[in-house]
Structure 1
């Protein structure tokens, strides 16, 4: 008979857990047989000792088997293709990407989450649209995929419940950084979702969870290995998150920017990454021979899908978005060239203004956030606004400004820019 103490001891001592031990401990923890403090000890042992590829794949399967699998397959010839981002500042790419890929002939079941800390959540952004709802049944998801081709919604309650329980525990026990636990958390939900292909956007930089390209690559390769072990086609783009994506960080602000991208405008970096990910998703899903996503985006067809997608979930795509009652600029201290814009600092500032949450149960302010008025490499003059702070709570402005201390350096010469997509792994 397996016991929690036995499993903890194996991993504590650097051993390899058997498939039976993994299946038992994940199932028993989900059922409440294994206590929180015992799973906390095991999570710490995994963080310190790691897991083999086989252990990680089996751990992922056990989390999938803790709940239901979705069957979202629809019409033949319209493959299900999903994207997952590891999160960053200003990362609103899902919003224009899902309707774009649907407009190009694939079906996109984008089960998304909420923000925590300095990174934003896709559902929080969309909930700034009046009437839009995140919670859909499996039947509603399937019907919307058939009719519209894209859906962005919350994970169903019965999908990988072990992950939901373990995620909350990792958050309060200092074990979030474990690559096997991060990878299995992400992939258990994506595999249970039943998609045909998955493209991963793994961020690297100050505003990302993985601060270096090397750590991002380790996570990406682990997730691709898990996908292969479960028969899922997957690839990964390692992308830069040293500066925010686009010109906005905040819920309604990012929705407005996404709409501008879908209407043929928007910041060049958001357009570039949206198109790059769309091409990768379509190729991985086997959708070949159609128009290039860049031309579809410029044509407005993706915007039509966006409107249909929002309306299908009760939202009004024409309704005005929330606007902050207080907007204050942050000014340049001297003449020169903006040499950087630290993504983490901007994310923390947006969070302190009310755009994010410290705990899962906290509310968010739909109108709060940061709008960038200059990008690294731009010439600036003393007293020129570099960015705006948006909030309904004036008492947050001082702490938001404090978060930006040193985040907007001004130099005499323009910095050398790097690529947005650092590497592609397949």
Structure 2
């Protein structure tokens, strides 16, 4: 058995760590018997030298078992599912998908995260609903799943404690983008949920972690392999992330758009992702015999209103008053009577005439982050009312002076430089071949092993 410095040297020199050595490292991280400098050195050695498949699976398994591992009743076998997204702009898929899956008979213990950098966080979005409590114990999660079928919660204190340490150190040591470390972090948390099936939405493009399809495919294959390696049936969807998902970006605004989607009025791109991810999970559980049948079941749950009923019940189970939940889910609700409205709104006008060729989602998210919709470091509060509504979509024609974006902000007002960045995020041209064309978000599926 090597010492910690010897193990760091071994990985630094490009050698493969044994199962026992990885186990020793993760135990030391969890017990905090290792120096922070040693953790940082090991992370950098992994970042530089990588890990083979066997090392990644052992790392993932040891992280997964570093704390509490959830358990479920025997009758839920094959039904406990979850989804993970690598992060996007306006990505509100979880808010629609979790209740839709529950309406189809799945049990969905969706453990989500907060925003960081330009990427929005599902927990921040849900906390814009008065009373919504993201902190639920393992016993409370089981109770909610038994009565509702889905919950969307934060990571419990006892779930994968090794990841809490390693993730903070990865951020501090610029090793966040290491494939083995990304894989261990994501799959260990999902494995600790004791899932039967998992679907990964791995995004690529300008506003994603992976900038092109090939790098997204490489990450997805690592994740799928590790998931299947720890006993979770795992598949992936590769989806484009250049613009926004739906028309709203920002916490309260995304909750409103999610509720409108659950009422049958959702944008096509959001529904494309919801039905694709949902159909893959329904096929993996055996609830649907094919992807096409799974897609139909998810769509029917959303359009027919059963998913909305599940979302309402989930809100109540997680602390929202019955009156508030019913009001939000009613057909003609005034959302701003419940959700916070920003003090100011501003509409930006198109500077040219033609067809909308592109809207840069990364720029939009970065400006909104600076205005308070997100956070630059963990622990910062977010302003739930700050956000933006797109008033046009790619492929649509727009006239000079026509409003294309409604900005929701509070004091201080956006600077001239920020306004100029937003204006440059809109690309208008005269290519009539783009007229009315919406590019599909889903590029490829990776099915379980």
Where on the TM-score scale, by shorter chain, does this alignment land: which range? over 0.9
Q: Are 1:336 and 2:354 matched, yes or no? A: yes
2:371 alignment partner, one of 350, 353, 358? 353
Mark the CA change 1:384 to 1:99 in structure 2 (over 3 Å): closer, same or farther. Answer: same
Q: Evaluate the alpha carbon distance shift between residue 148 and residue 78 of structure 1 in structure 2; reply closer, same or farther with a 3 A threshold.
A: farther
RMSD of aligned alpha carbons: 1.6
> Is the CA contact 1:353–1:400 (under 8 Å) kept in the aligned structure 2?
no
Do the aligned residues in 2 keep the contact of 1:93 with 1:270 (CA within 8 Å)? yes
Residue 399 of structure 1 and its aligned partner are, at CA, apart by 5.5
With over 3 angstroms needed to count, the CA separation of the structure-2 counterparts of 1:74 and 1:251, relative to structure 1, is farther
How many residue pairs are counted as aligned between the two chains?
426
What is aligned with 2:297?
Answer: 292
Distance 1:397 1:247 in 2: 23
Cα shift readout 1:158-180 (whole Å, capped 9, x = no counterpart): 11101011111111211111011
Which residue in the other structure is 2:59 paired with? 59
What's the CA shift for 1:28? 0.7
Q: Distance in 2 between matches of 1:77 and 1:110?
A: 17
Say whether the 8 Å CA contact 1:352–1:399 is kept in structure 2.
no
Deviates more, 1:20-29 or 1:251-260: 20-29
CA distance in structure 1 between the partners assigned to 2:61 and 2:172 by the alignment: 24
Shift of 1:76: 4.2
Contact 2:125 2:252 in 1 (8 A): yes
Tell me the equivalent position of 1:261: 261
Distance 1:242 1:132 in 2: 31
Distance 1:23 1:398, change over 3 A: farther
Counterparts of residues 264-279 of structure 1 (less than 5 Å)? 264-279=264-279
Counting only pairs closer than 5 Å after superposition, residues 29-108 of structure 1 correspond to structure 2 as 29-73=29-73, 75-76=75-76, 79-108=79-108
Name the CA shift for 1:400/1:30 in 2 (closer, same or farther; >3 Å): farther
Give 5+ residue unaligned stretches, structure 2: 329-337
Any residues of structure 2 matched to 1:225-244 within 5 Å, and which? 225-244=225-244
Deviation string 1:362-402 (CA, Å, 9 cap, x unpaired) is 00001111111111111111111111211122334545425
Whether the 8 Å CA contact 1:389–1:397 is kept in 2: the answer is no
Cα 1:403–1:37, aligned 2, differ >3 Å: closer, same or farther? farther
Once the two structures are TM-superposed, the CA of residue 225 in structure 1 deviates from its matched residue by 0.7
Structure 2 match to 1:404: 422
- 2:350·2:423 contact (CA, 8 Å) conserved in 1? no
TM-score, normalising length: structure 2 = 0.92
Moved more, 22-31 or 184-193: 22-31
> What is the alpha-carbon distance in structure 1 between the residues aligned to residue 347 and residue 429 of structure 2?
20
**2:404 and 2:218 mapped to 1: Cα distance?**
35
Matches within 5 A, 1:17-416: 17-73=17-73, 75-76=75-76, 79-288=79-288, 292-315=297-320, 316-317=324-325, 318=327, 320-398=338-416, 400-404=418-422, 406-414=424-432, 415=434
1:128-176 Cα distance to aligned partner (Å, 9 max, x none): 0011110001111000000000110011111110101111111121111
Contact kept? 2:269, 2:440, Cα under 8 Å: no
Q: Per-residue displacement from partner, 1:262-302 (whole Å, max 9, x unpaired)?
A: 00012111112111111111111111368622122111111
2: CA distance, partners of 1:45 / 1:76: 41
Assess if the C-alpha contact under 8 Å between 1:352 and 1:400 holds in 2: no
Structure 2 residue 443 is matched with structure 1 residue 422: yes
Flag the 1:102–1:36 CA change in 2: closer, same or farther, 3 A: same
Distance 2:45 2:371 in 1: 37
Name the CA distance, whole Å, in 2 between partners of 1:65 and 1:272: 35
**Cα pair distance change 1:212/1:73, threshold 3 Å:** farther
Using the TM superposition, give the Cα deviation of residue 420 of structure 1 relative to its aligned residue in structure 2, in angstroms.
1.1
Q: 1:403/1:171 Cα in 2 relative to 1: closer, same or farther (>3 Å)?
A: farther
> Aligned equivalents of 1:279 and 1:102: distance in 2?
13
Alpha-carbon distance in 2 for matches of 1:326, 1:96: 28
Could you tell me whether the CA contact under 8 Å between 1:349 and 1:399 is conserved in 2? no
d(CA) in 1 for partners of 2:30 and 2:421? Answer: 39
Q: Counterparts of 2:74 and 2:378 in 1: how far apart (Å)?
A: 33
Summarize the Cα distance change of 1:78–1:30 in structure 2 as closer, same or farther, 3 Å threshold: closer
Per-residue deviation, residues 199-220 of structure 1 (Å, max 9, x unmatched): 1111111111111111111111
Looking at structure 2, the residues matched to 25 and 400 of structure 1 have their Cα atoms a distance apart, in angstroms, of 45
